[in-house]
Chain A
Amino acid sequence: EVQLVETGGGLVQPGRSLKLSCVASGFTFSSYWMYWIRQAPGKGLEWVSSINTDGGSTYYPDSVKGRFTISRDNAENTVYLQMNSLRSEDTATYYCAKDNNNYDFDYWGQGVMVTVSS
């Protein structure tokens, strides 16, 4: 059974940093691209970052580029999201998701809440 479990969320002040982790199980982690997708309270979904299978290529939308960094450890079946210079508009539930090798997100974690507030 595929499982994705995110940790690391919480309350953080504007301008500070936070690192999210997502531990994967139930599939060959190193064979799939991984993603972070967020959802602000009561809002829609926003793609935040992508990483290829060996971690050599990463992608971000302009809203987080230069502030967020995605990485992965295939030995530990874990994908990370380092978030720096956090802003109030980064407040959201952050989901990690697995790619089905078709640019669709076929499995999602339960999500972790990040609140940016003073």
Chain B
Amino acid sequence: DIQMTQSPSLLSASVGDRVTLSCKASQNIYKYLNWYQQKLGEAPKLLIYYTNSLQTGIPSRFSGSGSGTDYTLTISSLQPEDVATYFCQQYNSWYTFGAGTKLELK
């Protein structure tokens, strides 16, 4: 099974900050990587698919990058509404999710 490790588990940042969230796979996943945002009490929402493709309706301040085993979600200018937990998910071999990064305002 492919394991997904997200870091950090908790991130505190200020409005306007550039924020970077990391996701590392236990083996090469060939860019088959999606990112989701989950706000408290809500279902997850797809943000980025296939490493760097922005889902329709998602603000352009969100972007994704990476290859091989290492992937990154970047928020270029943090907004208050971005407070949430972010999960990465691989689909190179079945589907596994990372444990999440909780993003809070400083």
Q: B71 to chain A: closest CB distance in Å?
A: 14
How many B residues, CB 8 Å from partner? 20
Q: B29 to chain A: closest CB distance in Å?
A: 12
Q: Return chain A residues, CB-CB under 8 Å to B32.
A: 103
Contact B49 A104 (CB under 8 A): yes
Give the residue name and chain of the B residue nearest to A105 (CB).
B46
Q: Return chain A residues, CB-CB under 8 Å to B100.
A: 44
How many A residues, CB 8 Å from partner? 20
Within 8 A of A (CB), among B40-85: 43-46, 49-50, 55
Q: A71 to chain B: closest CB distance in Å?
A: 19
Contact B43 A109 (CB under 8 A): yes
Tell me the bound Cα distance from A50 to B94 in angstroms. 10
Q: Return chain A residues, CB-CB under 8 Å to B43.
A: 95, 108-111
Q: Return chain A residues, CB-CB under 8 Å to B46.
A: 100, 104-106
Tell me the bound Cα distance from A59 to B32 in angstroms. 19
**14 A-B pairs (CB sep. < 8 Å):** A44-B97, A44-B98, A44-B99, A47-B97, A61-B94, A100-B46, A100-B49, A103-B95, A104-B34, A106-B46, A106-B49, A109-B43, A110-B43, A111-B43
